[in-house]
Amino acid sequence: MDYTTQMDAARKGIVTPQMKIVAEKEHMPVEKLMALVASGKVAIPANKVHTSLSPEAVGQDCRTKINVNLGVSPEHNNHEEELQKVQNAIDMKAEAIMDLSNFGKTREFRRKLVKMSTAMIGTVPMYDAVGMLEKDLKDITVDEFFSVVEQHAEDGVDFMTIHCGMNRKTAQRIKDNPRLTNVVSRGGSLLFAWMEMNNQENPFYEYYDRLLDICEKYDVTLSLGDACRPGCTHDATDAAQIEELITLGELTKRAWAHNVQVMIEGPGHMVLNEIAANMKIEKRLCHGAPFYVLGPLVTDIAPGYDHITSAIGGAIAASCGADFLCYVTPAEHLRLPTVDDVKEGIIAARIAAHAADLVKGIPGAQEWDDAMSKARVDVDFDKMISLSIDPEKARRYYESSKPECEGTCTMCGKMCPARTMKRILAGEDVSIR
């Protein structure tokens, strides 16, 4: 192999097998794709070890992708249930799955996940450190942190969320400017605590080149985590968030110098009128790197419905430049999501992503909507159902309330405007009795 990473290959003018697949999926000339990968504006997360992967591109001029979070915890550690979620995510065409397991035999589950998944796999090694090393957080050494990262890379993980940007300067900013919800990032809070207890710099910031060496070796895309993302609308776009984002922009350029692909993670919770500005700030400060957002959740008062608050924010964020949406389920803030919660979260995120792709003018997006509209004009319910984002639910709803008049639904019956117009324009009489 004459290249180390997808970025290295693009810069050398080498078309990789992954680029060929992605270019076809995106309806994009491979030469354009190569230029975007070479510049860092598009990432193709594809660990060399992940042989079952069907690669995807994240970034400029590409379809908005979605990620599904899953994984066991000490309170809920049913591996079979998590694998069912994995299969559902793959069946529902999620492009990425993040294993956030933080308990038990994480490596066994992770390897099984990588082996079965055609979707790209992400992890947060910090979550795994305490359980894998079986040590108190304070006693973990720098070398041990990096040993966990190396193990995840060896196992075939395509991208890793690592909170490199929260250095001691940013940590001080948090202490000097108290927040309503402090640090809500799990990985970020663990690093913050480790730094405070040991009076040391963030090891992933201090020894960043060591991290880049691991990523380059396996072609792991570095997802630069936002430890200071706002955990409530009150904290959005504050000093700590922007301080960290500036640092992430600097770290992005250093990663690119190592031919390491980068994504930037973003908010969080944020009111509607701040979203567009935040997308522009990220793209400017981080040099056009792909932007991966959690939500944003546009209000804090809807536990049980946060897949909706997230989809609202995600649609706006992606239409304004975000490239990758992390789904949120109805269980957010309340419990580990069930299989049904995961499905609800995926559907909500896919709706948001497609809504944004219509704005972006992504090839095929408008054509999908137009095909649905044509089916409605033709009063073709079978076609409508097959084109829907969740055909199973659409068919279940339609068949649960059958109309007396075939070719209509129980909302309008014979007064269906599509039926009326189809008949009258065909020169037929219209009867509604």
Please give the C-alpha separations between residue 393 and each of 29, 202, 347, in angstroms, as whole numbers: 36, 47, 11
| 186 has binding-site annotation | yes
Q: Which amino acid is present at 283? A: K
Q: Are 324 and 385 in the same domain?
A: no
**C-beta of residue 18 within 8 angstroms of C-beta of residue 261:** no
Q: Are 176 and 276 in the same domain?
A: yes
In a domain, 58, yes or no: yes
| 163 has binding-site annotation | yes
Q: Which residues pair with 133 in a beta bridge?
A: none
In a domain, 433, yes or no: no
**C-beta of residue 299 within 8 angstroms of C-beta of residue 233:** yes
Q: Are 315 and 404 in the same domain?
A: no
Q: Are 347 and 369 in the same domain?
A: no
Q: Could you check whether the bond before residue 296 is cis, i.e. omega within 30 degrees of 0? A: yes
Q: Are 139 and 76 in the same domain?
A: yes
| 187 has binding-site annotation | yes
| 333 has binding-site annotation | yes
Which of 319, 337, 360 is the C-terminal boundary of a domain?
A: 360
In a domain, 62, yes or no: yes
Which of 344, 360, 376 is the C-terminal boundary of a domain?
A: 360
| pLDDT at res. 28 | 98
| Long-range contacts (CB closer than 8 Å, 24 or more residues apart) made by 50-53 | 50/114, 50/117, 50/120, 50/121, 50/156, 50/157, 50/158, 51/156, 52/114, 52/115, 52/116, 52/117, 52/118, 53/117, 53/118, 53/119, 53/120, 53/158
Distance separating alpha carbons of residues 46 and 28, to the nearest angstrom:
19
Q: Are 227 and 302 in the same domain?
A: yes
CA 282 from chain centre, in angstroms, equals 16
| 168 has binding-site annotation | no
Distance separating alpha carbons of residues 191 and 208, to the nearest angstrom:
15
| 263 has binding-site annotation | no
| 416 has binding-site annotation | yes
| 98 has binding-site annotation | yes
Backbone angles phi, psi at 59, to 5 degrees: 145, -160
Range of the domain at 421: 365-425
Q: Which two tokens stand for residue 28?
A: 């994009």
Per-residue pLDDT of the chain (433 residues; tens, 9 = 90+): 799 999 999 999 999 999 999 999 999 999 999 999 999 999 999 999 999 999 999 999 999 999 999 988 888 788 889 999 999 999 999 999 999 988 777 899 999 999 999 999 999 999 988 878 888 999 999 999 999 999 999 999 999 999 999 999 999 999 999 999 999 999 999 999 999 999 999 999 999 999 999 999 999 999 999 999 999 999 999 999 999 999 999 999 999 999 999 999 999 999 999 999 999 999 999 999 999 999 999 999 999 999 999 999 999 999 999 999 999 999 999 999 999 999 999 999 999 999 999 999 999 999 999 999 999 999 999 999 999 999 999 999 999 998 888 778 889 888 889 889 988 899 988 888 7
In a domain, 431, yes or no: no
| pLDDT at res. 402 | 86
Q: Are 114 and 184 in the same domain?
A: yes
Q: Are 219 and 272 in the same domain?
A: yes
Number of folded domains in the chain? Answer: 2
In a domain, 378, yes or no: yes
| 326 has binding-site annotation | no
| 50 has binding-site annotation | no
Backbone angles phi, psi at 100, to 5 degrees: -105, 25
Q: Are 234 and 369 in the same domain?
A: no
Residue 206 sits in a domain whose CATH number is: 3.20.20.540
Which of 360, 389, 414 is the C-terminal boundary of a domain?
A: 360
| pLDDT at res. 133 | 87
In a domain, 430, yes or no: no
| 288 has binding-site annotation | no
End-to-end CA distance of the chain: 73
| 265 has binding-site annotation | yes
Residue among 289, 313, 134 at smallest CA distance from 224: 289
In a domain, 432, yes or no: no
Q: Which two tokens stand for residue 154?
A: 């060896």
Q: Are 302 and 382 in the same domain?
A: no
In a domain, 219, yes or no: yes
Tally of CB atoms within 10 A around 142: 15
Distance separating alpha carbons of residues 226 and 266, to the nearest angstrom:
6
Torsion angle of the four alpha carbons 293, 296, 297, 300, in this order, in degrees rounded to the nearest 10: 100
pTM of the complete model: 0.95
In total, the chain counts a number of residues equal to 433
| 229 has binding-site annotation | yes
Q: Are 279 and 356 in the same domain?
A: yes
Q: Are 270 and 123 in the same domain?
A: yes
| Cβ-based burial of 229 (10 A; exposed 0-12, middle 13-18, buried ≥19) | buried
